Amino acid sequence: MNYLSTRGLPTQERTPRGFSDILLEGLAPDGGLYLPERYPHIDAATLARWRVLAAASYADLAFEILSLYITDIPPEDLRGLVRKTYTTEVFGTPEITPLKALEPGLELQALSNGPTLAFKDMAMQLLGNLFEYELARRGETLNILGATSGDTGSAAEHAMRGKEGVRVFMLSPHGRMSPFQQAQMFSLQDANIHNLVIEGVFDDCQDIVKAVSNDLPFKRRHRIGTVNSINWARLLAQVVYYFAGYFQATKTNDERVSFAVPSGNFGNVCAGHVARMMGLPIERLIVATNENDVLDEFFRTGSYRVRAACDTHETSSPSMDISKASNFERFVFDLLGHDARAAERTRQLFGEQIANSGGFTLSAEEFARVREFGFVSGRSTHADRVATIRDTHARFGITIDPHTADGLKVGRQLRQPGTTTLVLETALPIKFAATIIEALGHEPERPAGYEGLELLPKRFKVMPASSEAVKACIAENCG
């Protein structure tokens, strides 16, 4: 399987790239995002076989799906990496992503039982093993530089801790994460994990990452890489749980299922889109946003309008607080036909119109196709989250986190009678205790093994919001 860019690489760059080439890369050289040249179509016989396989082993289902897209790692090696990743020890149950019934036709799919209690572990844990494997194979090392306001940073650190050939430098804004999230990162004592606490806000952290990455000689000399949500391997790993959820929720492959997805950077729901393109019988992909409703606005109107920093709200579902959805370009490229003409138009929309005027509006004809792709959307607010958390606790005895509450609120609004809807549970409530206390009047339950986490010794280095300070730290391996 070869990979192409959503913006169509210029001719001199058009050497075919395999999975392991793009694994360690970020954006394509033309500024686009990598996608497979085509989506393999899963025929009825294969889907029937996978249903049986999925009932026995999530890891073996994952291997089947991944091996369609990863053709440059020997199958036995890939199987080993996948089996090492998706274990009961790491994810808490043999199902890995078990369902929890709410009411008839409405279920939660638990994606947040990995080490950091958010769905990002589903992909990041695999990425850690893939990076270690590929770097060893190439005899290379990598310094991962990232900025986080919470879930991404801790998932990355827990996936990369102790891995050969990888160091992580994770920037976070001083005093902005929840105490639990902070403790998850700062309590790590592994020598290859470096927590850099920046005297500034999240945007300052992101600006520093950009500035360091734009210093090409520095980037090359220190082999700087990222693990951000545009990484294709992360998206691919997430495709698997749509299949796993579908098989658990249905008895035969004639049934259809909808998914409601709490969305920020469009990585999670884009994986659902890929599963649907492969032929998984998905009826609706329900995009749920919070007050930062860039995506909801697009799916209602066909206009995609990037928000300014001052128009980006800090909400009680902070992992969905985005000004633009970084994976969205992938969907637009598919919507436009996934070919050379689509690449031309995608380059126009994302490379020119967004750069020049901060957004674009699709033609009526282009926008009409959105419905064929199963997408609908809705928006949820702080009051909705609190009410949904309260209602779910009262009626089902289940405490959900604020992001999952956004998904449930919108999912309930847009589900259709007769089709089961799975709401993706993207984090456990303990990560966002303040909102749970507001809704329920008491602390959320703490999963076993996380007692006293906030009291463990912390390892971090505070530094000014300066890219030079961060560069010096990377060069000296500080923190």
Ligand X SMILES: *Cc1c(COP(=O)(O)O)cnc(C)c1O
- Binding residues (CB under 6 A) for ligand X: these are 118, 120, 151, 229, 262-268, 319-320, 403, 426-427
- Which segments within 245-384 are labelled E, that is strand? 257-262, 282-289, 303-305, 359-361, 375-379
Helix axis angle for 232-249 and 267-277, nearest 10°, is 60
Report, in Å, the least distance between residue 326 CB and ligand X: 8
What is the tally of helices (H) and strands (E) in the chain?
21, 15
What's the alpha-carbon Rg for the chain, to the nearest Å? Answer: 21
- Contacts with 97 (C-beta within 8 Å, 6 or more apart), sequence order: 58, 91, 109, 110, 111, 122, 241, 244, 245
The first and second tokens of residue 294, run together, are: 């860039």
State in angstroms the smallest separation of the CB of 321 from ligand X: 10
In 3D space, the residue among 193, 188, 137 whose CA is nearest the CA of residue 169 turns out to be: 193
* Residue (117 or 144) nearer to ligand X, CB: 117
Which is closer to ligand X, CB of 270 or CB of 343? 270
Find how far residue 62's CA is from the centre of its chain.
17
219 is catalytic: no
Residue 471: its H or E element: helix 467-476
Least Å from the CB of residue 452 to ligand X: 23
CB of 356 to ligand X, least distance (A): 26
Minimum Å gap between C-beta 318 and ligand X is 9
Give Cα separations from 230 to 80, 227, 236, 286 (angstroms): 25, 8, 11, 20
Q: How far is the CB of 75 from ligand X (least distance, A)?
A: 28
Q: Which is nearer to ligand X, 421 or 467 (CB)?
A: 421
The smaller minimum CB distance to ligand X, of residues 403 and 409, is found at: 403
In the complex, what is the shortest distance from the CB of residue 99 to ligand X, in angstroms, rounded to a whole number?
18
Q: How far is it, in rounded angstroms, from Cα 106 to Cα 459?
A: 42
Q: Residue 420 or 426: which CB sits closer to ligand X?
A: 426
CA–CA separation, 72 and 367 (whole Å): 37
The least distance separating ligand X from the CB of residue 417, rounded to whole angstroms, comes to 27
The number of C-alpha atoms within 13 Å of 236 and in the hemisphere containing its C-beta is 25
SS (H, E, C) 306-328: CCCHHHCCCCCCHHHCCCCCCCH
Residue closer to ligand X, measured from CB, 156 or 349: 156
The DSSP letter of residue 457 is: -
* Beta carbon nearer to ligand X, 169 or 432: 432
Report the half-sphere exposure of 136 (CA within 13 A, side-chain side).
10
- The residue assigned the tokens 């020119």 is 352
Q: Which of 120, 163, 324, 409 is catalytic?
A: 120
Q: Which residue, 115 or 262, has its beta carbon nearer to ligand X? A: 262
* CA nearest neighbour of 332 among 293, 292, 359: 359
For the annotated catalytic residues, the residue numbers are: 120
